[in-house]
Amino acid sequence: MEKINLKGIFEFRPRYSETDQMGVVYYGNYATYFEVGRVELLRDLGMSYAEMEKSGTMLPVVHLDMDFKAGAKYDEELVLETSILEVPSRKISFYHTLKNKKGKTLVTGKVVLVFVDTKTFKTKQCPADFKTLLLKASSTQS
């Protein structure tokens, strides 16, 4: 598999509604944070989910893996790093690292999505224009 190195940074603070009674982010919300990281990384690269869907491609999640090191807290400043490390084929993998402002890793994860045709719902190869965009962006980020 061909390697690339694309990274996006998203900074935010958890809202009160995202925490449990202990003031710690409820574990299910990390998947939503990872989604925001993916969407913002793609937007920064020049491709939005909406554009991809208009051109006939959807990206459903087929695998989610998370490791919890420490809980994020309400209103804590957080930094989410989202990376793409391999050129996609039928699937694309996103790697996530959530840290606090002091640099302590709180949660890591990997999310795999598959390219699907919007009309047939069958898997397909990564669209050529998207692959070209990733390769071009990787050459400028490296």
User: Distances from the Cα of 101 to the Cαs of 11, 12, 69, 123, in angstroms?
Assistant: 9, 10, 15, 39
Closest to 129 measured CA to CA, from 115, 141, 111, 110: 115
> 44 catalytic, yes or no?
no
Say how far apart CA 68 and CA 60 lie, in whole Å: 23
Residues with catalytic function: 20
